[in-house]
Amino acid sequence: MKKKHSIQAARLEQDVYELCQPGGRMVGTAGHRAAQAWVARRLEEIGCEPYRDDSFALRYEEYGTNFTNFAGVIPGADRTLPPVLIGAHYDSVIPHPCADDNGSAVAISLGVGEAIAKSGGLERDLIVAIFDAEEPPYFQSSAMGSNRFYEDQVDERGIHFALISDLVGHDVTIPDHYLGGLVSKLASSLAPLTFATGAESHPDLPGLLEEIESPSGMKLIATLNRYVGDMSDHGVFRRNGVPYLFLSCGRWEHYHRETDTPDRLNYQKMAAIAEYAEKVCRSAAHASLVETTIEAKSVEFEARTWKDALGLLHKPFAMACGVPDFKSRSHIDRAAQVLTSML
């Protein structure tokens, strides 16, 4: 598995360096246009066919500005079924590389698509969607690429399940002043943490995710989306009742700064996240995930992820959060609030 991660990490690193050029990818700039050409080429190289018509590019106009989403498909066994989608945004907020925001997630989405293509596909189509205009001033506006994709560009089959990622390339660090004693000494073990929201979006998802073991190199902590809000492209799927999972390592000191460069990312961790994302897509493709009015209950799954991810830090970290454990919703609420303040 280590060799597999090394090979995948090298491909992910190459993609990040190619996409995340010094001038950035702000909408309307030369860097943005160069990124569009690169995304279209990579979708073809990994084995996709166009999602609609004869082009990966899905153009739209809003506020007098031209934007472009990209969507490719890895054909599945039954193409009449609603597809699984994996996606991320490719634009940048400033004229700098913005490698973790969001080159890391674009690379992972492409990597998962390529792995699934090489294996012969899923039970249903897999859409690899690379969205435009996620960053301000377009964030959560009618120009945001994922909003336009869902509202205007999704075909009549709809979306079965969506996996969205953002800020998934860095190690998690917690400032020393939050920790002390044993917790501080073991803080480096928190670097592989990766956070997930969305298990609460369908009653079948906690059980589905329970069966997927986190690969070596990442440690999953599941929380409710309401702890952080719709901070990325998963929001439109959540609002429309599509079962989803959102993966992120949270914000870090290089967030929206010129120092967010490719050399700062952990590509082995990214390879582990890609392996996990691929497993989730495969399981979701096989699951029925039928529309239901039954309330999703994810607290037991969340509790297990906290315990497994923190390992030896489980008890001392709970004490640092002011709770005895992570077994109840109220305790997880408190711990999530404290953890969010640390990042």
Nearest-angstrom CA–CA distance, 247 and 193 = 11
Return the domain boundaries, the chain: 2-169+222-294
- Residues 126-165 pLDDT 10s: 999 999 999 999 999 999 999 999 999 999 999 999 999 9
Half-sphere exposure of 204 (CA within 13 A, CB side): 17
**pLDDT score, position 342:** 72
pTM for the model: 0.95
- Residues 40-56 pLDDT 10s: 999 999 999 999 999 99
The DSSP-derived string for 37-78 is HHHHHHHHHTT-EESBTTBSEEEEEETTEEEEEEEEEE--S-
- Return the percentage of the chain with pLDDT > 90, whole number: 83
Task: Please compute the mean of the pLDDT values over residues 172-193 and round it to a whole number.
Answer: 69
**pLDDT score, position 7:** 85
**pLDDT score, position 326:** 92
Q: Considering the domain 2-169+222-294, what is its CATH architecture?
A: 3-Layer(aba) Sandwich (3.40)
- Of 12-21, 56-65, 171-180, 241-250, which range is least confident? 171-180
- Residues 236-257 pLDDT 10s: 999 999 999 999 999 999 999 9
Quick one: 178 exposed, middle or buried, by C-beta within 10 A (0-12, 13-18, 19+)?
middle
* Cβ-based neighbour number of residue 158 at 10 Å: 12
**pLDDT score, position 185:** 56
Instruction: Please provide the distance, in angstroms rounded to a whole number, between the alpha carbons at the two ends of the chain.
Output: 30
By the 8 A CB rule, do 127 and 81 touch?
Answer: no
Q: Which of 130, 108, 122, 115 is nearest to 50 (CA)?
A: 130
Nearest-angstrom CA–CA distance, 323 and 337 = 12
Nearest-angstrom CA–CA distance, 217 and 172 = 12
Whether 171 shows a pLDDT value over 80: the answer reads yes
**pLDDT score, position 99:** 98
